Amino acid sequence: MAIKERPLLSASVRERDVDLVLVQLVQTSQPFREWFREQLAPNTDQSRFLGVSHSVVTPNGESDIELGFKTDRGDRQLILIENKITATFQDQQIERYYERGEQYVSNGDCESFTVGLVAPSQYVNNTEREAFDSVVTYEELLSYLDSIDHDGVPYFQIVLESAIEKRHEQQQNSYPLYADLNGRIMERALSKIRHLVSDKTSATPNYEIDTRSPWLQSQTEGHPDAIRYQFKIQLEQNQRTITPGDVEVRLDIESDADLSNEIEAKAARFEQEGFEYTGNSTFGVVHDYWESVDASDLNDERFLDEVAERYAELVTLGHEVFTEPA
């Protein structure tokens, strides 16, 4: 192939490609840098740019991008950014971002920090918006790039457009798998939940099904609104191949809810039933999971019943724990 016939992107775009686009824009374009900071940390004072780092590795995990600013008052602020296209979150990956930020403050590296997510709009749902301080979509980035004068903009837009298309293709491939499995598991779980909860409280659970992160939120009086019960099927489907992954049932606390102390105080109740609690000052999760699930498991009715049963047990126990008299 002649050089002039080669496409600008000769291989599938990856998260690292988008990372480097963002790093270049932050470093070389003041208008973009100021706009990007305002999206990620809108409530901060006017500030001076200190620097940008890519792939920052610490003993407690890795930040895709970190931005440093100094306010007019002299306070240093770090913005820690996670970038996603198609990959699912690792266990405790979001929580570790906040732990790293707290460690930076404790070490005297900065006075404050925020944690943001950058991803295609199809990747982002309410779970991500609740877990991060801020979210910037690829589509918002594309729209803003139209307004700035930068020699690299045409190429940067191609990278972002390719990443959005990659996410769209994955969504199209995975939708039938997830829609079918989520519906089958939720239907079984709700039947079990209504039976189990009726023995404990007068709850009438309200629920909504999302094709990627199905969840149920209790409407029982006294139950915290900030708690949501979810199950996650973290497999990927490519044509006829299903990549082994994890299946998880979990209780999530909204990131801005001050419930961690209450959860910690009641964690023993969940642990007695084999659920694990992990959390920090801004987020908490009670969960159980199955590792290395593959296509044969997903075709096994007994396995789907097992997931539904475990999900029902978690929801029922949560109702009992959070609605019982003090």
Phi-psi category of residue 154: left, alpha or beta, with phi > 0 → left and psi -120 to 50 → alpha: alpha
Beta bridge partners of 112: 77
Taking the C-alpha atoms of residue 287 and residue 311, their distance in angstroms, rounded to an integer, is 9
pLDDT digits (tens, 9 = 90+) for 130-169: 889 999 999 999 999 999 999 999 999 999 999 998 887 7
Rounded to two decimals, what is the model's pTM? Answer: 0.57
Q: What's the chain's average pLDDT? A: 81
Is 4 contained in some domain?
no
Is 170 contained in some domain?
no
Highest mean pLDDT among 125-129, 166-170, 195-199, 287-291 belongs to 287-291
Q: Which domain holds residue 255?
A: 175-323
What is the DSSP code (8-state) at residue 87? P
Domain tally, the chain: 2
Residue 145 sits in a domain of what CATH number?
3.40.1350
| Mean pLDDT (whole number) for 304-308 | 89
Taking the C-alpha atoms of residue 229 and residue 232, their distance in angstroms, rounded to an integer, is 10
Is 26 contained in some domain?
yes
Is 290 contained in some domain?
yes
pLDDT value at 94 more than 70: yes
